Amino acid sequence: MVVRVGWHGAGMFTSSAVDERHTLPRDVSEAELEDALVEAQRRVNAAEAERASVVAALLTRARAADQASAHMSAGACHATQEEFVADRVAALLACTKATANAMLDVAVEASTHPGLARSWGNGDIDSRKVAVVAELMGLFARAWNDLG
């Protein structure tokens, strides 16, 4: 299957399956294509940030349910909802549990750094940069705590 890309102005491309050709609009400048690519990536980044926010909310609710359950069954040892959040995410998104765990890790890290989450939500950075920056911020925070 080959994809036809169509230009719809204002930086918007759409794609649909076609017979055997790959066509690009001929009247679109190189600069317009580059702008469309950058805008598409910003939307992807923002969508990933939104997904992370939802994943973090699932985790927060699971933790709250576990706390409520722990108060009701003091001392009893049982499975928690929190430990199955990655399984739920993997099943819902049809991805591996490793991928779901990575999503959870980035979602938690982003939720603890509002400026980082805001940049991600605006589409300014991608999920990989969020993960790297959050990890470095954690290392710096631990190093700072070790100094004082």
In this model, does residue 32 exceed pLDDT 50? yes
Average model confidence (pLDDT) for the chain?
A: 86
pLDDT value of residue 100: 98
| 67 alpha carbon, distance to own chain's centre | 26
Q: How confident is the model at residue 139 (pLDDT cuts 50, 70, 90)?
A: very high
In this model, does residue 16 exceed pLDDT 80? no
Output the pTM of the full model: 0.76
| DSSP code for 82 | G
pLDDT digits 0-9 by tens, 72-124: 666 666 779 999 999 999 999 999 999 999 999 999 999 999 999 999 999 99
| Percent of the chain's residues with pLDDT above 70 | 79
- What kind and span of H or E run contains 2? strand 2-7
- Measure the CA–CA gap between 52 and 33, rounded to whole angstroms: 29
Contact 55, 120 (CB under 8 A): no
Position 64, amino acid: A
Position 130, amino acid: V
- Measure the CA–CA gap between 45 and 61, rounded to whole angstroms: 24
Position 102, amino acid: A
Rg (CA), the chain: 21
CA proximity to 55, closest of 94, 104, 92: 104
